Structure 1
Amino acid sequence: MKLFVFDLDFTLWDAGGTWCDATNPPYYWSNGALLDQSNSEIELYPDVIPLLEELKRNNQKIAAASRTFEPGWAQDLLHLFDIDKYFDLKEIYPSSKIQHFSKIKKHFGLNYGDMVFFDDEHRNIHEVVELGVEAVWVDDGLRKEQVFRYLK
C-alpha cells in the first residue's frame, strides 16, 4: 500500500496564479466561483475531486504536505472546496518538506518508500527523493493518470 501525499498550491488548486498565502481572504463563493477579496478566482483542478474519491474508495491513506506562511488560509480553501474530508493527515505550515515527511512517517508508521508525493516544485521533489519517497512532478495541475498508476 502506498500513502498518497499531495502539495496544495499549483498541485490541487491554482490560487489566481499565485500561492494561497499571497491571496486576500476571506474567500467567498460568487456564481459558482471561489474568489478572494481582490476578486481573484481560486480554482480546484478538474481531476482533484474524482481522484481523491477514487483513492478513498480504494481505502488509501491521503496526506497533505504544504509549505505555506498562512496555514489557516490553506485550511479554509480545503474546507471551502469540500476536500478536507479526504485527508487523513494535514501537515500545513512554513517548513521544509523534510519536516512534513518526518511527521507523516511517524504518524502512519510507514517507511518513506511506502509514500508517493505529488508537487509542482522541483526543490520539494529533490528534498523528498533524498528521503526515499517516490516523488512525481506536477505540471499545470494534478491529473488522474499521474495518481492512478500507483493504485495496486
Structure 2
Amino acid sequence: MQFFLCFLFTLVFSASKLFETDAQFCPRKNPDGESTMTEETKPGLIVFDLDYTLWPFWVDTHVSPPFTLKSNGKVFDSTGDQVKYYPEVPAVLQQLHNEGYKLGIASRTGSIEDGKELMKLFDWKKYFEFSEIYPGKKTNHFSRFHEKSKLPYSEMLFFDDEHRNIVDVSKLGVTCILVENGVTKKVLQEGLEAFAKNKRKGNC
C-alpha cells in the first residue's frame, strides 16, 4: 500500500511538472484559438518594409506622383490609377497599436518623399514611432533603430519581402520573417510566434 501511494504521488508530481513545462514553452491561446504573447516574449519593436510588404508595388517605379486623396478615402496617382495597399494591413497596424507595440518602417526605396506621402495619405504615420526610408543596406536602418530605441537587436521583429534583407538583418540577431504576398494577420501571428520561440531559446 505504501509503495502504491509513493508511486501515485510520483505520477501526480511528474504530471504537474509536465503541465508547468507546457505552460512555459507553448504560446497561450485566446478564446478564438489564436496565440497571444506574454510580456516576456513580446518584441520591443516591430519593423515593416514598405514595397511588396505593406503595399503591392515599388513606389519608385509602379506609381506616378503626385498622389491625391479623394473624399471617399481612396488614393490615386497622377495617371488616375488607384494606389492600393494589401487588404489586411490597416487592421494589422491597428491591432498592434491597440496592443501597445512600438512600430517602425525600414525601406530602401529611392523615392523617399513619395513613400512618406503615401503613408500620410493612408493615415499610417500615427502608428509608427520610427521611420528609416532611404537607399542602402537594411542593416543601416536597423543600426539607427538600435541607436534611437536603445533596444537590443534581439528585441526586434522584422517583416520584409526580399531574401537579401532577411539574410543581412538576421545576422544582427533580429527575428526576420520573409513576406511572400503582403502582410496579413496570419503572417503577423507567425512572426510573433517565431519571435517568442527565439526569445525562449535565448533564455535557456
TM-score, structure 1 as length reference:
0.91
How far, CA to CA, are the matches of 1:49 and 1:33 in structure 2?
13
Matched, 1:128 2:166: no
- When structure 1 is superposed on structure 2, of 41-50 and 129-138 the one drifting more is 41-50
Matched, 1:102 2:165: no
Tell me the SS of whatever aligns to 1:44. Answer: coil
1:22-50 residue CA offsets vs partner (Å, 9 max, x unmatched): 13100124565422123333211111111
Determine the structure 1 residue equivalent to 2:160.
119
Matched, 1:144 2:185: yes
How far, CA to CA, are the matches of 1:32 and 1:140 in structure 2?
24
Q: 2:60 aligns with which of 21, 30, 39?
A: 21
Equivalent pairs counted in the alignment come to 149
Q: 2:103 aligns with which of 54, 57, 62?
A: 62
Determine the structure 2 residue equivalent to 1:41.
82
1:54-109 residue CA offsets vs partner (Å, 9 max, x unmatched): 11111100000000101100000000111111001100111210100000011111
When you count helix as a share of all residues, which structure comes out higher?
Answer: 2
How far, CA to CA, are the matches of 1:98 and 1:50 in structure 2?
28
1:64 and 1:87 in contact (8 A); partners too: yes
Determine the structure 1 residue equivalent to 2:47.
5
How far, CA to CA, are the matches of 1:134 and 1:29 in structure 2?
35
How far, CA to CA, are the matches of 1:132 and 1:40 in structure 2?
40
- When structure 1 is superposed on structure 2, of 139-148 and 127-136 the one drifting more is 139-148
Unaligned runs of 5+ in 2: 1-41, 197-204
Tell me the SS of whatever aligns to 2:116. Answer: helix
TM-score, structure 2 as length reference:
0.69
How far, CA to CA, are the matches of 1:32 and 1:50 in structure 2?
16
Percentage identity across paired residues of the two chains: 40
RMSD of aligned alpha carbons:
1.6
Unaligned runs of 5+ in 1: none
Matched AA of 1:28: T
> With CA pairs under 8 Å and 6+ residues apart, which has the higher RCO, 1 or 2?
1
How far, CA to CA, are the matches of 1:33 and 1:83 in structure 2?
14
